[in-house]
Structure 1
Amino acid sequence: MEKPELETDPPSPATTSENPSRSYYRKLHIKHITRTLIFLLFTGWWIAGLLFHRHDKNWLIPFLLWLCIAIRIITFYIPVRHAWYPVRFIWHHSAARVPELIPPALRLSMATLGVLTIYTLFTFLPPSVPQNTRADRGISCLGLVVFLLLLWVTSKKRSAIGWYTVLVGMLLQFLIALFVLRTKVGYDIFNFISLLARSLLGCTKAGVAFLTNDKTANTPIKFAVAFFWSMRVSGAEAVVAAASPFVGQGESAMLIKPFVKHLTKAELHQIMCSGFATIAGSVLVAYLSMGLSPQTLLSSCVMSIPASLAVSKMRYPETEESLTSGSVTVPSNDSEEASNGLHAFANGTWLGLKIAAMVMGTLLCIIAFIALVMD
């Protein structure tokens, strides 16, 4: 005779699997410990390099790497808007206060005179060299004046031109050029960035070789808050302009995807202008394969950020109310957020394929239309 089975209560979730809250806090503690270890590791590495290789090696690059890592770790715990409070406070109580000391009627003329003085001094005071004479510099300055005059003549509404943005844009472009080309610190920074860019973009050859062959892979072929504060542009314009030299024209516009349908005509004009003023990653690879100076290419792309803002605001001034005129925050779409690294790679690949398909389709139609007209 079989013994009756004893009735038992179903096992509780705590006995069959780990408590979800406990698992969450355990993962959170692991993240905190990992970030702390990374911060201590790079801090020790930077201090050791500063102490033992201060005179025989460049200390600036390790410091910049440590600073980037430290800022990223800090922003895990402090929102960016709070971390920028000290910088914003210093800006509003230093550089932003300078115009207030000048009578309103004289601000534009004084600013114009200041920019012209800086251009004149740093253009003609340095000694001439065979490849860079004062006459050549004068021709370049004259060309800049002609371009600005043409932009003013063809402006959609000359009375609405924001001359503050134009002057600051031209000044920042010139100062970036001086920093990169006339100082060792600037040259070292952009030379280091160019090395990273060449290494990163060169890695794409492995993917191309996998999809095609080695011969095809070796065939020659493609700063937002600061500009938002200093140049008084909208948040959407600042984000796109700062990203265009690094991710390309189409990809930079995707960064403000939630705002695209709300952009003003002037903002759309600026987005297109900043995109055409810089080069995308694949074009950078093509130029590098031709043997051109990588630091010169990268510095020219960064110089194009304020220049594109200035040019756009002359050609198509803002006459509407911008939705992002008081903020540079781009809301995230929770439904499209990646759950892990692999998911993020897949999303990025799919977005790149869509953009590439749109570009190829547009080129196909344009070339076919040109062939129809020429036939």
Structure 2
Amino acid sequence: MIDLFDSQLVGGTVLLKNRIVMAPMTRTRTSDGDVPNELMATYYGQRASAGLIVAEATDVAPSSNGYAMTPGIYTDAQRQGWRLVTDQVHRNGGTIFLQLWHVGRMAHSSLMPNGEAPWGVTEERAESQVFAHGPDGKLDPIPAGKPRRLRTDEVFALINTFTQRCVQSREAGFDGVEIHGANGYLFEQFMNSVLNTRTDCFGGSSVENRTRFLLEVVEAAVRALGPGRVGVRLSPFGKFNGIPADPRTEETLLYVAERLGRLGVAYLHLVYELMPEANMEVAQFKANYLDHALLRKIRKAFSGAIIWCGGFTDRKSAQDALDTGLVDLIGFGRPYIANPDLAERLKHGWPIAEADRSTYYTRRGGTGYTDFPAFAMVRAACGAV
């Protein structure tokens, strides 16, 4: 029986010191030009006791900028900023992958180059909001803009863009990359059989066509970085960012899982989108979302490691998931905000702190970001022995 604190060799290449993954979380702390900075380096360095850190979703091009103050990796300044982060994580003994994304239609013209329309699989607008400049110029949640349909040659060009960013992520010091195929962003927009009504080689009823964009990007990433250095995140059955319910979700998921395994992908990161108002217990999550029957199918189809993320808040829930034998690593999201030493707290049964939601996305520097003390420091300050 594996334990949450056993090591894990991912992809035959990357050795993780435990089975705990810090999930990617947008925190809007970049400097001007969407440049990572010293503050972000401190934040990630504080959390380096996780077996794996997956850094927040990062734009591969200006056309991917769907939310204000999210980082990019397409300029020299951005790559130099990320080097501050990776150096700090490595000094603290951590392992860090970079999550690469393109938001697709989840954008607004106020954030796009020259005020152009967002890039879409089709011209259908997302019934959701983005964090962008409203009519008064202020940053607020506003409806996503109406996209324009990407031409076929532009999709092929994006594959090359992702390939370049994979190479540049290695130059910035990352141990690998995670391709963000989840949460209603561009890759999932292509894979969704209801939304994707294209008639070219990237669309239609064919699962091969709908998944072509993701799989070609992943294949190029593995060629560039090696099979142990590439992971993929998927959110099957999710409804985030206005992605429509898809009757072919399971078919698509199992097809992609099998193909990813053949390509040598290190891990498959499965995420359940817990909405703030849901307050869903992990037991309900297991029963209602990724049931064991489906996980067994995924395990059979995919030869790499599986990360299970969504709703895990303590050691017991994480260990129970590992005990099924169907997953290898457990992703923790929000608990990592207020607990930079989450791995140690889980290991020793120390209390888990909670963060103030109002500080999740802010430009107030380190407040609610890097100012959470490790529990050992709290004990020392209180005179505990």
Return the TM-score normalized by structure 2: 0.26
Q: Highest Rg: 1 or 2?
A: 1
More strand, by proportion:
2
If each structure's helix is expressed as a fraction of its own residues, which one has the higher value?
1
